[in-house]
Structure 1
Amino acid sequence: MAALPPWKKVLYLKQPYEDNYVDESFLDSLVLNANVQRYEFWSLCSGTLAILWQLSLVVVFVSVWWRVQQLTWNLNWLLALDGLLFGCFVCGWRRDKAEANTVNKIGAAEPALWDVLNACKIVFPLWVLAPLLQTLTRSWSDDTIAVIASALLFLHVASYRYQDVADHHGIPASKRVSPAHSLPGGPTALNAAVLAATILASRLQTAEEVFAFMSFAMEVFALPRARFPAQALVALYLCAIVMLGFGLAAAAFVLVSGVITFLSPALFMWAQRYKAEIQGPWDIAHVNPSTRQPGQESCQ
């Protein structure tokens, strides 16, 4: 009986073998984990800073509302905070625009008065609607307000597009999208935050306080984000702890931020190493990926 020709792993060739025949060399070209990305601990930690920034903003936002609602802060304090945030926003935004114009050689930046006029498009409707917003939830109980606002703020943090923040801070000014044409965090996160602010503002005492607080909420959540340095993140984080009063709430916030910033990357790194140890020799490719021929399998 003549010897059978060597089996070939092709579909277009008629071979004297059964359809379910499997040769010993069937898995010789199998490559596992050929394109696995290796992570570093500190790079993962730095990637969570955008989450920490947004959590700090939410904590400061709720703390400001609590102080105004409890009459610890008066209207003048809230208006001064609005002016300070708007000034910081204008400075940061014009800095980004100036960098982009310098790189692209577009020309001089627009005058600061134009930014103020654009802000008036938001401030004036808030001033008109403030008396209406004050009576929006008059028939609601405090428990209902707390549950709905907490759920909306949680939705805001969970659905926020943190990758947009990382991309905005990682690309050069010449290729960065203009902040005037972008929604911070995406539409879902922005709508949830604004709705939560509207519900909380309706519990304040006067229409002026409602207007000032809604202006503060729009500055925190709705205005396009300029690039923030590491010092700004540290200042915002310390401000959130101070606003919480160094009590149990502040300790819980520090614990949550520590879990997000350090513990979660550490667990991810441990899981990656544990998976590599469990897989053992299968992590080693039978065929060098750089020399693999077309048609050879790669499984990850």
Structure 2
Amino acid sequence: MVLHSRRQWQKSLYENADYDDNYTDPSFLKELRTNLNVRLFTFEEAVKGTTRLNNQVSCVTLFLVIFYLLYTGDVTPPNVLFVTGLSTSIGYIFYRGRKLFDFQCILEDSKTLLSVLVFGYLFAPLLHRLTNAISTDTIFSMTFFVLLLNLIFCDYGLSAAMVSKALSLNAAIFASICLASRLSTAFHAFALLVEAAVFFVLYPIFTSLYWHWYFLVPIFGLCCFLLYNVSLNILLFYVLFTGFINILCPYIFVAQQQYKHSIHGPWDEAIVEENNEGIIEDK
């Protein structure tokens, strides 16, 4: 009789004085929902999503290959700058589109380009001698770790707490300065700094606006062609690593989706939202 005389249990902390603190009413779990708003991705969607990561890996790989070719003397700075200038000009045409014939827009872009080239050329001798007191092995080790930071914190189009464009860019620039100090002349260092600006500043701006999964094909093919002339072992590792990221990882991700099990209920934290009428509601 005592139990029936108690006030009916409610989901309120101050309305359940007649019940024990660890009491759980059977009605509490009636609002339990599983896998609420869960989206299942197809294998095609997963593969297309990982192309952004592979694109950044290919950018880092291509940048390192260009450094190696400059370091060994297989290519000259004028050739590198000519090819880079040609490809950048084509990319700029697609990037500007209809604004290409806007004189004011072209003037502002030209000022920015001229400033970067002039200051880069003036500071290249200083940067070239900046790390003379540091051994080459230490320089290469630091380059590996900072480029790894570039890959980890790069913006791949997802909103995550660990995404940091500033940290990713600074890591890439620091790596380019370290590598530039190992080249033979200041002009070589200037060419490598220009490559760093193209790969880690301009190219991400272009791909963030016009990215499609098939953009990976040309940069992947170019990396394979250059690595074939550098080292077959590195080429094999690059191809296997690309296949692991772009094929095996999406397959594992899609196969494991069936084991998703998230629960939602009255214990979830309230989300404050404002409706169209300006009224704040708890959901």
Does the pair score TM above 0.5?
yes
What is the correspondence of 1:129-140 to structure 2 with a 5 Å cutoff?
129-140=123-134
Q: Secondary structure at 2:41's aligned position in 1?
A: coil
- Mapping 1:7-26, distance limit 5 Å: 7-11=8-12, 12-13=14-15, 17-26=19-28
> Matched residues in 1 for 2:109 and 2:3: separation?
85
The structure-2 alpha-carbon separation of the partners of 1:71 and 1:9, relative to structure 1 and needing over 3 Å to count, comes to: same
**1:185-208 per-position Cα deviation (integer Å, ceiling 9, x unaligned):** 711010010110011111111121
Displacement after TM superposition at 1:121 (Å): 1.0
Matched, 1:125 2:106: no
Residue in structure 1 matching 2:86, options 84, 87, 99: 84
Please say if residues 85 and 219 of structure 1, whose CA atoms lie closer than 8 Å, have aligned partners that are also in contact: no
| Structure 2 residue 205 is matched with structure 1 residue 225 | yes
Matching residue of 1:205:
184
Aligned mates of 2:3, 2:128 — CA distance in 1:
92
Going from structure 1 to structure 2, the CA distance change for 1:86 and 1:7 (only over 3 Å counts) comes to same
Instruction: Give the Å deviation of 1:269.
Output: 2.2
The higher relative CO (CA closer than 8 Å, separation ≥ 6) is in: 1
Shift of 1:261: 1.4
Question: Partner residue of 2:138?
Answer: 144
| 1:92, distance to aligned residue in structure 2 (A) | 2.8
Which of 28, 33, 36 is residue 35 of structure 2 equivalent to? Answer: 33
Distance 1:299 1:255, change over 3 A: farther
Q: Supply the distance in 2 between the matched residues of 1:19 and 1:211 (Cα, whole angstroms).
A: 71
User: Residues 16, 37 of structure 1: CA spacing in aligned structure 2 closer, same or farther, 3 A cutoff?
Assistant: same
Secondary structure in 2 matching 1:136: coil
Q: Give, as a single letter, the amino acid of the residue that structure 1 aligns with 2:151.
A: V
Cα distance between partner residues in 2 of 1:38 and 1:298: 25
- What does 1:114-263 correspond to in 2, within 5 Å? 114-163=108-157, 186-223=165-202, 225-226=205-206, 227-245=210-228, 247-263=232-248
Question: CA distance change for structure 1 residues 113 and 19 in 2, over 3 Å: closer, same or farther?
Answer: closer
- Give 5+ residue unaligned stretches, structure 1: 99-106, 166-183, 286-295
Any conservation in 1 of the 2:53–2:156 contact (CA below 8 Å)?
A: yes
1:4 counterpart = 2:15? no
What's the secondary structure of 1:72's corresponding residue? coil
The two structures have a TM-score, normalised by structure 2, of 0.79
Query: Counterparts of 2:197 and 2:183 in 1: how far apart (Å)?
Result: 17
Residue 68 of structure 1 aligns to a residue whose secondary structure is helix
Which segments of 5 or more consecutive residues in structure 2 lack a partner in the other structure? 270-283
> Contact 2:180 / 2:189 at 8 angstroms: preserved in 1?
yes
Name the structure 2 match of 1:93. Answer: 95
Measured after TM superposition, the shift of residue 210 of structure 1 is 1.4
Alignment deviations for residues 181-235 of structure 1 (CA, whole Å, 9 cap, x no partner): xxx9711010010110011111111121111221121111122621245554211
Cα contact 2:10–2:16 (8 A) shared by 1: no
Q: Work out the number of aligned pairs and report it.
A: 258
| Amino acid across the alignment from 2:111 | L
Q: TM-score, normalised by structure 1?
A: 0.75
2:277 is aligned to none
| C-alpha displacement of 1:274 | 3.0
Counterpart residue type for residue 86 of structure 1: T
Q: The residue matched to 2:120 in structure 1 has which SS?
A: helix
Between the aligned partners of 2:68 and 2:16, the Cα distance in structure 1 is: 78
Cα gap change, 1:88 to 1:142, in 2 (>3 Å): same
Given that residues 137 and 199 in structure 1 are in contact (C-alpha distance below 8 angstroms), is that contact kept between their aligned partners in structure 2? yes
2:280 aligned residue: none
Q: Percent identity?
A: 28
